[in-house]
Amino acid sequence: MNRTKNIFIAFISLIVACYMVSCRKDFLELQPKGKVIARTLADYDLLLSNLDMLNTGTESQVAMGDDVAAVNPYFSGAALRTQRLFRWDAMIYEPGENATEMAMPMQNIYSLNAIINEVMQAVDGTEKQRKEVLAQAKAVRAWTYFLLINYFGKPYDVGTAASDPGYPVITQADVTATRFTRATVKEVYDFIISDLQAAIPELPARTTHRLRMSKAAAEALMGKVYTFMGRFSEAIPHLNAAFADLTNAAIPVELYDYNVTLAPGGAFTPVSIFGPAYPQVDYNTENLYAKQFINTWSFVNSELVMSTETAALFKSSDLRLRFYSSMPFPAGPAYPAGMRRRTGPPASQYGILLPELYLLRAECKARMNDLVTAKEDVEALRRKRMPLADAAVPSGIASDKDQLTRFILEERIREFALQGFRWFDMRRLSVDPVFKTTVGYTHTLYNASGPVTTYTLQPERFVLRFPQKIIDQNPGMQNNP
């Protein structure tokens, strides 16, 4: 069994390696000041099409979500970093190690800054074309900073955001720069919003490719940012605009109906040991803007599984359960207590997704007491995930603002279990005026025999610490507790 697992791990490693080298920036050289020598509009456009912009390599949020549990003996043999993330340890990395949460995003920020600072001086192309590339780079930079602040900054709290340490705001593509200071959480969010406000008017009105930022995707991102800030009334117009912009998309952007795709002979069948035959990122019609990371916990690793509490949220008729198995990979005794392992796809999508767009708008509407249309949005998704008879929101829940909001938040768990979304929701809910007093987060490790082990998330662990290497390179830079 171990030999088989090692073969598949090697296979995944090969896939990752191919991703990393399949779009080499051979045309790039660095001047002494670290400025990218890109002259034509096509040069800058190619930087945005680099596969490093797609494959960000950040999977740590999966292990930190409370939608997961761990099972021995698999957990004891897992990577030390996985064990530390699951336990919510203070120290994730050894003193000399780099943080994978920073590596690819920071590389991308360098490229994005080069585009933003230089593309308007490109030797060719019209001003409109140059502005469009500039806008795409700003919107992608906003997405990247939104990811980074949700790793290393405290959740946005209007009362403390102006003083809470955030993440360094870097706007120059200068490889000689070696020292950075942390902006506040508010300053980072203001920077994200500023980039999106500048980008949206210049972005393509039609969605033409899933690997490039469109107006619809940027509007959706703005809505998500405002949702995470607790500014729900401001989020709704942007989420509405995203839906409106999708009506004239040049490519299919629509929800998959699992009643059809998982039916005998459906597009996602046959369902194998590797899960349903789910489409690749560029063919996935639920992607507005594609970002992904290799998630071995949805393929060949068996230590992290759906928690019993998460499993209890599903009805047996929920077709999303077809993406989970009660057995470890590739075989072995069934998991206890109804827990399940994710079985695909191996690359988790977490860019701008249509299912999340429905759920974000439903949540914002529910919080603003628009219960009728909030219910319509969440049911629009549920009708695509289970038989129609089970898709309706229970009437007692649908008529109560807080209960409907909670139901929608639970729908996010059902939709994205073991895909990393839950960690980011846990963070924002920890400062939510309605839900912060009703949440307490734990992880459970199930042993082959004997008592379980429980880990409790401490408030200071809602942020990752910067590796000591980064602190040493930036004297005076404050680390997280």
Q: What is the mean pLDDT of residues 393-416?
A: 97
The share of the chain scoring above pLDDT 90, in percent, equals: 84
6, pLDDT greater than 60: no
pLDDT value of position 475: 86
Output the pTM of the full model.
0.92
| pLDDT, mean over the chain | 91
pLDDT value of position 173: 84
Beta strand segments in 330-420, E: 341-342, 347-349, 352-353
* Chain Cα centroid distance, residue 291: 8
Alpha-carbon gap, residue 220 to 186, rounded angstroms:
20
154, pLDDT greater than 70: yes
The better pLDDT of the pair 326, 5 is held by 326
10, pLDDT greater than 50: no
Per-residue pLDDT tens for 287-324? 999 999 999 999 899 999 999 999 999 999 999 999 99
pLDDT value of position 354: 98
Q: Which of the four pLDDT bands, split at 50, 70 and 90, describes residue 178?
A: low
pLDDT value of position 21: 34
Alpha-carbon gap, residue 396 to 403, rounded angstroms:
8
275, pLDDT greater than 50: yes
Q: Which of the four pLDDT bands, split at 50, 70 and 90, describes residue 14?
A: very low
Per-residue pLDDT tens for 114-124? 999 999 999 99
Among 180-184, 345-349, 374-378, top mean pLDDT goes to 374-378
Kindly tell me the number of DSSP H helices and DSSP E strands found in the chain. Answer: 17, 10
| Residue 308 buriedness (CB in 10 A; 0-12 / 13-18 / 19+) | middle
37, pLDDT greater than 80: no
pLDDT value of position 224: 98
Q: What is the mean pLDDT of residues 179-197?
A: 95
Alpha-carbon gap, residue 369 to 367, rounded angstroms:
5
Q: Which of the four pLDDT bands, split at 50, 70 and 90, describes residue 176?
A: low
Alpha-carbon gap, residue 364 to 129, rounded angstroms:
35
Q: Which of the four pLDDT bands, split at 50, 70 and 90, describes residue 29?
A: very low
pLDDT value of position 353: 98
pLDDT value of position 9: 40
pLDDT value of position 57: 78
476, pLDDT greater than 90: no
284, pLDDT greater than 60: yes
Phi, psi at residue 294, to the nearest 5°? Answer: -70, 120
The better pLDDT of the pair 211, 1 is held by 211
22, pLDDT greater than 80: no
Phi, psi at residue 444, to the nearest 5°? Answer: -120, 130
pLDDT value of position 163: 98
12, pLDDT greater than 70: no
* Chain Cα centroid distance, residue 296: 15
Question: Token pair 């359960």 is at which residue?
Answer: 321
Per-residue pLDDT tens for 38-55? 889 999 999 999 899 999
Alpha-carbon gap, residue 171 to 191, rounded angstroms:
10
